Amino acid sequence: MNVDLQRPVFVLDGVDVPFTTGQTVMQAALAAGHYIPHLCYHPEFKPHGSCKVCTVRVNGQTFASCTLPAQPGMEVESNTDELNDKRRTLVQMLFVEGNHFCPGCEKSGNCLLQAVAYDLGVMSAELDHLFPNRPIDASHPDVLLEFNRCILCELCIRASAEIDGKSVFALSGRGITKHLIVNAESGRLADTDIALTDKAMEVCPVGVILPKRVGFRVPIGQRRFDASPISAQALEDAPRTPAPRARGQA
């Protein structure tokens, strides 16, 4: 790779990565063709580091690379045994904290959690499953909510509030009791103004928000991560265009 000598650089796993002022380590790495595992990061939203899968080490300290501003001369470690072990543990915890049954999930092959797990070599959770009681919300005529698969990335919350201007979703509880809820007095999706065209319908990295009557339309072998792993897909997608302004913004 040819490094642009007119731009500042930092070092990622021994390789120079150019960046522009204001970019985070994650943004610069992806734009330069270097994959850092991640789940909650989405290029159309301001990162907030909720999942910590993208954790890197700089000068002996760990940071979420999606929120860490790139600085000239930084020595960043990402692809190390220690950090990948921590990522595997985080992914395993997400699997056991919810109810994930990949073979019977409509998002299998298109699921970011599943794809990152495969990329990290996670073949089983190796932890005790919690099996939470999270009833499905099928009240809406066009949208199904499968709360059992939520990984608390908050992307649907932010998309609904910042782009759709509806604030359909929210989080409730703290710690292990934190969970996704529908922001309506009844708690039912049918009592909101969500639409199939909403941005919130697109951003869920797992199988929580699903359009009805389209399940399993794409056969196994033709799904997104069947063709190539998440590490290749993430680089193919980057960089993306900025998100449109939220309604009401100048």
Q: What share of the chain is helix, strand, coil (3-state, %, to 5)?
A: 30, 15, 60
CB neighbour class for 131 (10 Å; exposed up to 12, middle 13-18, buried from 19): exposed
3-state secondary structure of 77: strand
- Mean of pLDDT over the chain: 92
Alpha helices in the chain (DSSP H): 25-31, 81-97, 112-120, 155-158, 200-203, 224-227, 230-237
- pLDDT value, residue 233: 87
Nearest to 150 by CA among 179, 185, 123, 122: 179
Architecture category of domain 1-99+229-250 in CATH: Roll (3.10)
- Cα distances from 137 to residues 159, 205, 220, in angstroms, run 20, 18, 26
- pLDDT value, residue 96: 96
148-179 confidence digits (pLDDT tens): 999 999 999 999 999 999 999 999 999 889 99
CATH of domain 100-228: 3.30.70.20
Nearest to 205 by CA among 39, 27, 93, 43: 39
- pLDDT value, residue 217: 85
In the chain, list all ranges with CATH 3.10.20.740: 1-99+229-250
φ/ψ region of 239 (left if φ > 0, alpha if ψ in -120 to 50, else beta) reads: beta
Low-confidence ranges of the chain (pLDDT < 50): 1, 241-250
In the chain, list all ranges with CATH 3.30.70.20: 100-228
Question: Considering the chain, what percentage of its residues have pLDDT values greater than 70?
Answer: 93
Nearest to 118 by CA among 12, 238, 223: 223
- pLDDT value, residue 48: 87
3-state secondary structure of 220: coil
Got the DSSP string for 188-215? -GGGS---TTSTHHHH-SSSSEEETT-T
Nearest to 181 by CA among 190, 191, 189, 170: 170
